[in-house]
Chains A and B, each alone.
Chain A
């Protein structure tokens, strides 16, 4: 057990102890270290002005550079990682890094406040050699807001980096980074606290599943933190005092996604970004929604299980997982149980999670899902929370719909299935008109609310229409996808 955190900042090893566990990386950088290049634009992980790059080896030992929002990242989460900030990009002799130089050359900064964050997002993609292509750059930059440029010059700057040479100073930097990460690696549990403070906040990062479950069994009031993309806001926006935070991110085995007994088992610390390729490979639409889920920064920190555990009625994942008949696994000490995901969500903010239990996995059946489709409706395509999220799956035999699972988010206090509409589909012929008929029953299933995202009337109408859209998609009558990365995607629609 250690009472200090060890990480690398701009290729220098940092060993810190005796600070509040809810200290964010951005606060530490800006106030304690006076590294003010990383900016605070929103304090909730939505604008990307605080983007820094966090490097860690992945399961294969290959180093992955992830852009993260420093404003909602707790210091303890840096254990073993290498943090690179905007201050460290230059070549050491005052020359700009290629990711900086292109931003200058393309006139890609105006007020300059968002610029360090953009540069760091480009830098992460450039290091990984992935994400700067024309088909990917919008996703790479979706988590960075710019109010001045209209983005075109930033995108052009990013595109120009594709295939650029790796300068010698960058090779040296990476080598040092890898060596230092190997040097500081260890397998001890880390426990940080600010003993003596009036308002103590401890941060506990167990190294093994045994340590984790034991600690939680003895401290059931601890707040479990995975990516802190939600818990971070409890601290920065709600000033909540979380006396003990328990982090999943360091637990051996918690980051695993495995195929087991016809299920895909996603562990408690698997991030959205990590899971995305596994999910997209099996369910194309799942991947498309994930691409628009949060931003790269949020997906790089936030976890699938954390998202489920928080039980948001407007989360995008739950409807998709429910449509796929996913089960949630809960663990308390040595006890473990499973239940269908839709049964986990009991009421607004209330989940079927007993004292001492944590979401230890979700299990997705690997049965074929040919007719699985997802539709995310939001004011803005990227990095927005859904007004309505629909995820649907049917099975068809001999042109008859055998079973139907129509799950919605944003329509009730919890993610919920449209059971009346499902009944209407079951046994109906596999034709467009069956879906139109079923759509009418959505009104029997939901009484949505009006809020800042949408009115009740729109929610109900668009939920109905999504069932119609689903029918059109499946029966080949016409498919319209405006949010596809290639822009407008129309199939079966005449004239395009």
Chain B
């Protein structure tokens, strides 16, 4: 076996052009450090001897009134330097990203098991752990609402229901030849980034604070710390070199550790670090929302959907966090790739006494999409059709169709770039879907002990933040007089290869080898007012901003050299490490040197704001997405019908990354996203007890996919003809989130396997499809071997 051509030998000059150009499979910029253990994460940063560790004391109750709080014994315990509670906050007691409803420390009431009540800054973690148990806190327990069902019964919601609609769904369903209704429960998901939440604060002059934070959103951390400390944003600098995984879990949830570290530093004048232990991370932080989706579908004998209503109830937890935007994205993906002319989506944001659920790769999209995929699967079962046939009959019209025929979504956006037909046709063939499905059905009819299943599911995912103002980014590029380039942008590196891609973009813009571009830690001191690295938009936004910054400098150099050499500007061309000046050429470094001596500014910011998008939040209408990313997957599974144990035997994927900036990184996102999605829908089960305590709070009880859980056969390819119709960075498409939803094919394949039990009833398989859920569902369908 030979390694793929990685192009990562940065020293090797490519035959033409530059090393590490766009569209090459350049290796991750930190790969050589990852494998050597020299990549620095927050907890690895060397700290002075007088540094403190911060430990958060958590609420033991899901819902209770705080009647008394005596922390004197905690403060007196050995090794405790400072106790911090709500009373010690000089500014605002809040760490919420949007609505100001997440206290840093509970003040009068606790609203989930795990909520921060107070914290200690201590000499050692052992001292901190020993001390927090000495607190004397009086609680008066109040009734707690834990589940979606309980919230609905109690009418416990965050705000009124939100609605998004097109056409007249009630009429369409009422007049459709056939109707069905159903429901699916979809479990949540813990991020399980391998690096827990972490922040380290250093004191500066005049009360300034520098915080190293493992966060996707340095600007928000900066702003929240300033609010808590009652100071200006300018007093706080937040820096993020890299995260050990984020997946959305470090978008808003990084605030609490960063604030507690900063507060400790503020109160003691000493460096302070908050690093969540794995169990604490599980208990404190929010997760992917679990959903219950009820659906009502009107359709005809061919399986064409005339009208649909989706009722989405989601468990938000004790506060809003980002749930409003997550709900919007779930509603915006209730159609997936299907044009349903009459449709209504209603979202119920359930308020419960549990962790405040938050962003997680897909941001509601996966749950919304799973609702319609389940409905289509049930329609196909009802009609006795291959679900792929029904899927095809409902796809949005292809982009090649006349514009007037393009479908309009339930939120009013025209789907003008649809290529799902091309991808599905291709994967149906490369995965040999039709033959395999027939073979599997023959197998199933001859076997009771094991049932196999296969499913092909599409993905259409909208790219851009649903919240319009977030679609902006900045970058800062310095060219030094030796021709080397330092690059900074507002995005954060969490493993997704953003820094690698942005460096490639800048190298391409200057036409210089990638090893002359050094990317530096994200810091609010260099690029301010940034958006979270989220919504798959990292490269789209920051790549454009970095390109703009580099281009500004390049054009300055060009104009200077044109004037100096008395050439028209178009005669000055940057190519392959050189600047061509008419018939002569000089090296890029020489050109830079000349510009420097000519007193040309070699530093520039760059800025980008996504064009064309607009969104009316109240009406749920507009064009929230700049474009859509597409993909499709075929998964094959087997179920042991006596135990419910199951395996993904094979998965085939074709995914659209537009014109890929880095095919190796994009393939990595697709494979990783698929396996993470498969975990969400199969083995990853969050269990709270009746008292609201999360019982699965460590890898011993919460099971993310392990090595052997990857599909035994795994064929992944980029869509060969991918190209973004919109003017995105080098015509690429975002790839962070969409592939996760390819794993819906696994759940649908399991559903297909269960249909082989032979019941007239639809399997109605909920997620996660653990062995238990599969066995009990099979028994409900009449399978009985015991």
A residues with CB within 8 A of B:
30, 34-44, 46-47, 49, 85-87, 89-90, 96, 100-107, 109-116, 119, 137-138, 141-142, 144-156, 159-160, 198, 237, 239, 375, 377-385, 387, 436, 439, 451-455, 457-458, 461-462, 464-466, 468-469, 472, 478, 480, 482-483, 485, 487-488, 490, 493-496
Contacts and interface: CB of A to CB of B under 8 A. Distances in A.
B752 interface: no
B700 to A, nearest CB: 5
Nearest to A157: B3
A389 to B, nearest CB: 12
B733 to A, nearest CB: 19
Interface of B: 1-4, 6, 8, 25, 27-28, 30-41, 43-44, 46, 78, 126, 129-130, 191-196, 242-247, 277-279, 442-443, 446-447, 449-450, 494-497, 638, 640, 642-647, 649, 664-665, 667-668, 671-676, 683, 685, 687, 695-696, 698-701, 703-710, 712, 714, 716, 770-772, 775-776, 779, 785-786
B645 A150 contact: no
Contact of A113 (B8, B41, B703, B709): B41
Given A89-B36, A465-B775, 17 more contacts: A37-B36, A39-B194, A46-B698, A107-B4, A111-B193, A111-B245, A111-B246, A112-B34, A113-B193, A113-B195, A145-B194, A152-B714, A156-B1, A461-B786, A462-B772, A482-B638, A493-B447
B339 to A, nearest CB: 32
Contacts of A40: 43
A439 B642 CA distance: 12
A160 B671 contact: no
A267 to B, nearest CB: 27
28 contacts: A37-B38, A86-B37, A103-B31, A105-B8, A105-B27, A107-B668, A109-B35, A111-B245, A111-B246, A111-B495, A112-B35, A113-B245, A115-B35, A142-B708, A147-B245, A148-B672, A150-B676, A377-B643, A377-B771, A379-B771, A380-B683, A384-B703, A453-B701, A458-B772, A465-B775, A468-B786, A494-B446, A495-B442
B120 to A, nearest CB: 14
B685 A482 contact: no
Given A104-B8, A466-B643, A112 B671 contact: no
Contacts of A111: 193-195, 242-246, 494-495
A115 B195 CA distance: 12
B645 A482 contact: yes
B700 A144 contact: no
A480 B785 CA distance: 14
Given A152-B714, A465-B785, A488-B638, A85 B644 contact: no
Contact of B642 (A35, A42, A383, A465): A465
A130 B496 CA distance: 32
Contacts of A49: 194
Contact of A112 (B442, B495, B674, B786): B495
Contact of A39 (B36, B41, B640, B776): B41
A483 B645 contact: yes
A147 B193 CA distance: 6
Given A36-B43, A114-B194, A44 B710 contact: no
Contacts of A453: 701
B39 A468 contact: no
A494 B443 CA distance: 7
Contacts of B647: 381, 482-483, 487-488
Given A104-B32, A381-B709, A480-B640, A452 B687 contact: yes
B1 A159 contact: yes
A89 to B, nearest CB: 7
A387 B772 contact: yes
A142 B707 contact: yes
Contact of A107 (B664, B699, B700): B664
Contacts of B242: 111-112
A476 to B, nearest CB: 13
B706 A382 contact: yes
B675 A495 contact: no
A147 B4 CA distance: 22
B786 A464 contact: yes
Nearest to B34: A112
A480 B708 contact: no
B621 to A, nearest CB: 36
A48 B725 CA distance: 44
A384 B443 CA distance: 30
Contacts of A150: 671-676, 705, 710, 714
A47 B195 CA distance: 11
B78 to A, nearest CB: 7
B450 A493 contact: yes
Nearest to B193: A147
Contacts of B494: 111
A147 B704 contact: yes
Most buried by A among B39, B40, B46, B775: B39
A113 to B, nearest CB: 3
A462 B643 CA distance: 6
B41 A107 contact: no
B6 A107 contact: yes
Nearest to B44: A36
A110 B126 CA distance: 32
Contacts of B771: 377-379, 387, 458, 462
Contacts of A116: 34-35, 37
Contacts of B2: 160
Contact of B644 (A385, A436, A462, A493): A462
Contact of A43 (B31, B277, B665): B277
Given A116-B37, A461-B786, A42 B675 contact: no
6 tightest A-B CB contacts, nearest first: A37-B37, A111-B495, A113-B244, A112-B34, A150-B675, A110-B495
A461 B775 contact: yes
A298 to B, nearest CB: 11
Nearest to A454: B772
Contacts of B643: 375, 377, 462, 465-466, 469
A494 B615 CA distance: 56
Contacts of B712: 487-488
Nearest to B685: A379
A329 to B, nearest CB: 30
B664 to A, nearest CB: 5
A153 B279 CA distance: 29
Contact of A482 (B46, B247, B646, B676): B646
A462 to B, nearest CB: 6
Contact of B446 (A90, A155, A495): A495
Most buried by B among A113, A159, A383: A113
Contacts of B449: 472, 478, 480, 493
A381 B645 contact: yes
A385 B701 CA distance: 8
A468 B642 contact: yes
B762 to A, nearest CB: 21
B53 to A, nearest CB: 10
A87 B37 contact: yes
A160 B28 contact: no
B27 A104 contact: yes
Contacts of B40: 36
Given A148-B672, A239-B129, A383 B706 contact: yes
Nearest to B646: A482
B703 A380 contact: yes
B704 to A, nearest CB: 6
Nearest to B677: A150
A496 B446 CA distance: 10
Most buried by B among A96, A111, A469: A111
B16 to A, nearest CB: 24
A237 B772 contact: no
Nearest to B2: A160
B36 A90 contact: yes
Contact of A488 (B196, B279, B649, B772): B649
B707 A96 contact: no
Contacts of A151: 675, 705-707, 709-710
